Amino acid sequence: MHRTSAVSDKIRELITPFLATLGLTVWGVELAAAGHRQLVRLYLDLAAETPRTPERLGVTIAECARVSRHLGSLLEVEEYFHGAYVLEVSSPGLSRRFFEPQQLSGYIGREIEAKLSVPIDGRKRFRGILTAQAGTTVSMTADPGPKSFPISFDFAEADKLRLIHAFDATPEGEADGDDSPYGSPEATS
């Protein structure tokens, strides 16, 4: 699925010490093509030891900008890319993509979408409720409703796994781990 590359690993190593000073962690690194340039996407989340409070629900836009400037400077010095590149830094967002199997454990009972590289019963795309994650095995109830059925697959067999955000999934006033830079809806004007 999210096969790590040497460049992704180096980017993670480069920025991790700086992120620790901000109470942040790398959620994932994605490398792709953007026309004739390399696209580098860095997703940030609050570190496990950083408490989520009503004042601090997730990563802010200001933190993303600060990390982008710092990482941009580091990448210029390290010269990991031979040509032009585009750097994007953000939170994982409401429909977060999962980059490692252990990231799923906090989302048991939530709806996910899986795009597999190898079909199961002739299908590669499944949407349903995440029921378990053990080691690298992901289990879900696909197609919730009268025709639902359980499936399990190895995390490495998925090209992409993402959360399907439900706006009513979190009781009012509680942080749900989604990184809105604007705080809770009640806090906005």
Range(s) of the domain holding residue 18: 6-90
108 with 79, same domain? no
The larger pLDDT score, comparing residue 84 to residue 111, is at 111
Assigned domain for 23 exists: yes
pLDDT in tens, 15-29: 999 999 999 999 999
75 with 112, same domain? no
Query: CB count, 10 Å around CB of 125?
Result: 12
pLDDT in tens, 89-131: 999 998 999 999 999 999 999 999 999 999 998 999 999 999 9
What does the DSSP assignment read for the chain? -----HHHHHHHHHHHHHHHHHTEEEEEEEEEEETTEEEEEEEEEE-TTS--BTTB-S--HHHHHHHHHHHHHHHHHHT--SS-EEEEEE---TTPBP-SGGGGGGGTTSEEEEEEEEEETTEEEEEEEEEEEETTEEEEEES-STT-EEEEEEGGGEEEEEE---TTSS-TT---S---TT--GGG--
Share of the chain above pLDDT 90, in %: 67
Tell me the whole-structure pTM to 2 decimals. Answer: 0.79
Q: What is the pLDDT of residue 4?
A: 55
Q: What is the pLDDT of residue 179?
A: 43
The larger pLDDT score, comparing residue 170 to residue 158, is at 158
Residue 185, pLDDT > 60, answer no
Assigned domain for 175 exists: no
21 with 76, same domain? yes
81 with 151, same domain? no
Share of the chain above pLDDT 70, in %: 86
45 with 107, same domain? no
